[in-house]
Structure 1
Amino acid sequence: MPRPAAITGLLVAQHVVERTMVAASTDDGQQLIALNEVYVGHHSHQSARYRLSSPDGLPARQSSSGILVGTGTGSTGWCRSAWQERHSPLALPAPTDPALCWFVREAWPSPATGTDSTEGLLKAPDTLAITAESDLVVFGDGMESDTLAVGWGQRIEIGVAPIKLHLVA
């Protein structure tokens, strides 16, 4: 029996678009890959304490309601909200750009923590390194039920994922 034209046409007309993804890995071997963004912070979104090391800055001790690291696909959602709220001059990546944007949510200045490093761009192979100074969780794409648990002193590295999502159009 011959195939319907619609099915044959689909097979011929396929076009694949690659989308950048974000990867988080911990020093004990846990890994997570997401299409939109990765959140690092306290499980209830209260104040999280950590040391942040970005490729363009010195390590900084911070307390905030978490860190978002997003792809160009994710820069239309949660990351865009953080970007708009602070009127950031940062150019958000496009969905196919091999880059990530990152934002510290509500950084709290104190005698022990600062707010100097709160946003930036990451291009492979650069990573954002976070050392936990409280219990933290890491989840991707808003799926809080699928988390990496991180304890005091553990290190998390976040960067462009080594794999890409293949979107068939």
Structure 2
Amino acid sequence: MMGSGGRMSENKIVLVKRKTRLEELVVRYNTVQQAQFYIERLGADFSDYISEDLTYRKAVETAVIELSALGRVQVLERQHVPNFIFGDEDTVVVLGQDGLVANTLKYLQEQPLIGVNPDPQRWDGVLLPFTVNDLRLLLPEVFRSRRQVREVTLAKAELNDGQSLYGVNDLFIGRRTHVSARYLLRHGGTAEQQSSSGIIVSTGLGSTGWLRSVLAGAAGITRSAAGLGLAAREAAGSIAAAADFSGAAGREQAAGANADGVAAAAGMSQDTGRQGQADGAGAGMASRLA
């Protein structure tokens, strides 16, 4: 059934986009020329920033044209997502990268989310199975609930003061300064003393990223090694990295965490915020990936 203006649906389609690296540089340095001077002074290729920006802008333009033929479109910048009120019947289209999909998922309930790769030659996009050219055929199937969806479980951390925090990929529990500390870890009715800089709590969705990096890196290090060990935060073979850092042991262990619940690993990583005791159980709240 067509809506007014020949549109397939009157429900809102929210297109979530981000600033490119070039746009962020211009915000910081005011002009493209000043941004170019800064990048080239660092020895980097500024033409790559230009190319990325043009490709992403073209993808946004194409997405808006394709989506406007199907429904009412609202373009939403990444920085406005936390304060945006998504309607129950909204369809959310995220013009990647993966981090933008994961960040947007935190603010959804049961709305379908479609991850779109704006630049397949540049980004692998684990959470970006579609391109802008797929939207015209894909959205009608989503509107009619004829598209297979994959539910995503979020991890929820509850602090001592009553605050809570959701994580789509993972949570880091530890000191902001990354210094090691002794603490008592309780999980599943068991307890043990630990001494580390913190704990990574990974969901099934995040098990191929940070957790996989830690497991794969640890599996490849021996105490008698003469050299030094290097761990990439996202240790997965990718177009961007042009390498495969994953080891067999790391793949096997990470695969075991790819479930509806969460997996925990003691380790060192980036802090996400305040300290506190956390409940690592998978939250009942879930969104959907079309």
TM-score, structure 1 normalization:
0.61
Equivalent residue in structure 2 for 1:37, among 152, 158, 170: 170
1:148 paired with 2:148, answer: no
Following the alignment from structure 2 to structure 1, what is the Cα–Cα distance between the partners of residues 264 and 210?
A: 11
How far residue 10 of structure 1 moved from its aligned partner, in angstroms, is 5.5
What residue is the counterpart of 1:138 in the other structure?
Answer: none
Size of the aligned set, in residue pairs, is 125
Which ranges in structure 1 are unaligned for 5 or more consecutive residues? 107-141
Identity of counterpart residues, as a percentage? 30
Give the distance between the partners of 2:154 and 2:195, measured in 1 at CA: 26
Residues 45 and 164 (structure 1 numbering): CA distance in 2 closer, same or farther, change over 3 Å?
same
**Is residue 104 from structure 1 mapped to residue 104 from structure 2 by the alignment?**
no
Q: Any conservation in 2 of the 1:64–1:105 contact (CA below 8 Å)? A: yes
Distance 1:47 1:143, change over 3 A: closer
Answer with 1 or 2: which has the greater Rg: 2
Find 2:282's aligned residue among 136, 142, 160.
160
- More RCO (CA 8 Å, sep 6+): 1
What whole-Å deviation, never above 9, does each CA across 1:10-40 have from its counterpart, x for those lacking one? 5345443211111111233111111000101
Aligned to 1:75: 207
Aligned to 2:256, which of 71, 88, 92?
Answer: 92
Larger helix percent: 2
Identify unmatched segments of 5+ residues in structure 2. Answer: 8-68, 71-135, 220-248
Q: TM-score, normalised by structure 2?
A: 0.38
TM-aligned CA deviation for residue 49 of structure 1: 2.6
Q: 1:28 aligns with which of 161, 166, 172?
A: 161
Seen in structure 2, the aligned counterparts of structure 1 residues 65 and 82 have a Cα distance that, compared at 3 Å, is same
Matched residue type, 2:188: P
Q: Distance in 2 between matches of 1:41 and 1:149?
A: 6
Report if aligned partners of 2:178, 2:271 keep a CA contact under 8 Å in 1. no
**Deviating 4+ runs (over 6 angstroms):** none
Relative distance call for 1:8 and 1:2 in structure 2 (3 A) is farther
